[in-house]
Amino acid sequence: MSDLLERLRGRGWRMTAQRRVVAEVLDGDHVHLTADEVHARAVERLPEISRATVYNTLGELVTLGEVLEVSTDRRAKRYDPNAHRPHHHLVCARCGAIRDVHPTGDPLADLPTTERFGFTISDVEVTYRGVCPNCTSA
Amino acid sequence: MSDLLERLRGRGWRMTAQRRVVAEVLDGDHVHLTADEVHARAVERLPEISRATVYNTLGELVTLGEVLEVSTDRRAKRYDPNAHRPHHHLVCARCGAIRDVHPTGDPLADLPTTERFGFTISDVEVTYRGVCPNCTSA
DNA sequence: GCTTGACTTAGACAATGTCCATTGTAGGAT
DNA sequence: ATCCTACAATGGACATTGTCTAAGTCAAGC
């Protein structure tokens, strides 16, 4: 999204063909890609882009807070460009499909001080697991 | 714990030296070990135990519902022998320390039907992230 | 004490991710 | 427009975690 590229440039991010391609790949509605999926799509547009660069760029985007890392399964991390609207995830245990969901209520409020053990809590991640309609009927 | 061994035997689990050692390692208060940590401790008691056996045994314990798999970081899965009391996890972002916590409220109730997209939800996993007292003062 | 099928082993393999030395280049300075 | 230089990209080795397989071993019932 030019939005994203704009923001990054404004933050002093040095713009290169590789970084642009990675950002563009993430911008589709093909959300929740793994690093290798991002790489595969990036290669379609810029054949000589290397795996290391994709990993580096994704890592930077995460550090910058423009993209979220999601570890819904035990396999590869996935990258979620929807970092500016807090949300959680709903994962199909069969096919691995992932949906963003917006629960009501604040899980943080559900953790009493006595259960915080002196931690300074900054973030809560909620993953709902189940079976999606497709896999249920199949 | 002989509790655990007892239950497993009652379920027709064939008892071997290897399986006994793995179960014993998990039984300490050294909870939340990775598979390789379990292996390291198992080797101390049974030097010839192989990595594959540890992985197999852990997998079986998970299937039997005696142990939970926890993926708090993006690194190795961890194994939580506290499978019989539902709980969630609090993870230190610096040192990786993990504590079991028991929030009030039910996260499932916080997900409206309209946000379930036809999924049959069976499980919710909540991970709180923050900085533990040790790392805060350091 | 046999027998047998389940269990264990070692090591190859696979998937994902990281590191590093080298080469290339974006963007400011001239 | 060209040059400089710090930052970025490359590719390939390496690391970590986990899975698989073929062959040997053993627990438990008879």
pLDDT, tens digit (0-9, with 9 covering 90-100), for B36-51: 999 999 999 999 999 9
Q: What is the mean pLDDT of chain B?
A: 90
Q: Residue A125 pLDDT more than 60?
A: yes
The highest-confidence range among A16-30, A46-60, A123-137, by mean pLDDT, is A46-60
Fold of B88-137: Dna Ligase; domain 1 (3.30.1490)
Share of chain B above pLDDT 70, in %: 96
Residue B1 has pLDDT above 80, yes or no: no
Alpha helix stretches (DSSP H) within chain A: 2-10, 17-27, 35-45, 51-63, 133-137
Lowest mean pLDDT among A32-41, A98-107, B68-77, B124-133: B68-77
- Measured over the CA atoms of residue A127, residue A29, residue A40 and residue A48, the dihedral's sign is negative
Give me chain A's average pLDDT, please: 90
What pLDDT sits at residue A73?
76
Backbone angles phi, psi at A81, to 5 degrees: -70, -10
Cα–Cα distance for residue pair A50/A21, rounded to 1 Å: 12
pLDDT above 90: percentage of residues in chain A: 65
Q: For chain B, what is the HEC assignment?
A: CHHHHHHHHHCCCCCCHHHHHHHHHHHCCCCCEEHHHHHHHHHHHCCCCCHHHHHHHHHHHHHCCCCEEECCCCCCCEEECCCCCCCEEEEECCCCCEEEECCCCCHHHHCCHHHCCCCEEEEEEEEEEEECHHHHHC
Tens digits of residue pLDDT in B6-40:
888 888 899 999 999 999 999 877 789 999 999 99
pLDDT band for A49, please (50, 70, 90 cuts): very high
The more confident residue out of A86 and A120 is A120
Q: Do A103 and B105 touch (CB under 8 A)?
A: no
> Is A98 near chain B, with CB under 8 Å?
no
Alpha carbon distance A96, B136 (integer Å): 37
Tell me how far apart the terminal alpha carbons of chain A are, to the nearest angstrom.
36
Please check whether residue B90 is in contact with residue A116, taking contact to mean a CB–CB distance below 8 angstroms: yes
How many CA atoms, within 13 angstroms, populate the side-chain half-sphere of residue B63?
Answer: 8
Maximum Cα interatomic distance, chain A, rounded to a whole number of Å:
54
Phi, psi of A109 (to 5 degrees): -65, -20
Mutation target among B70, B75, B78, B124 for the A interface, most CBs of A within 10 A: B124
Question: In 3D, which of B57, B94, B55 has the Cα closest to residue B76?
Answer: B55
Place of tokens 């061994």: B5
Give the C-alpha distances (Å, rounded to integers) separating A14 from A4, A10, A27.
13, 10, 19
Residues paired with residue B130 on neighbouring β-strands, in sequence order: A121, B92
* pLDDT confidence of residue A14: 94
Give the amino acid at A119: F
What residues of chain A, 101 to 120, have a C-beta less than 8 Å from chain B?
101-105, 107-108, 110-112, 115-120
* Band of residue A117 on the pLDDT scale cut at 50, 70, 90: very high
Mind listing the pLDDT tens digit for each residue in B70-120? 987 778 899 999 888 889 999 998 888 899 999 998 889 999 999 999 999
Q: In this model, does residue B2 exceed pLDDT 70?
A: no
Q: Which residues pair with B70 in a beta bridge?
A: B78
pLDDT in the model for residue A39: 97
**Contacts of strand D, CB cut-off 7 Å?**
A 13-14, 16, 18-19, 46, 48-53, 56-57, 74; B 9, 14-17, 34-36, 51-52, 55, 59, 75-77
Q: Which nucleotide is nearest to B19 (CA to C1')?
A: C7
Statement: residue A80 has pLDDT above 90: yes
Residue A133 · residue B124 · CB < 8 Å: no
Say which CATH architecture domain A88-133 belongs to.
Answer: 2-Layer Sandwich (3.30)
At residue A2, the pLDDT reads 56
Class of domain B2-80: mainly alpha
| Average pLDDT score over residue span A35-40 | 96
Domain boundaries, chain B: 2-80, 88-137
CA distance B125 to B123: 7
Predicted TM-score (pTM) of the model is: 0.86
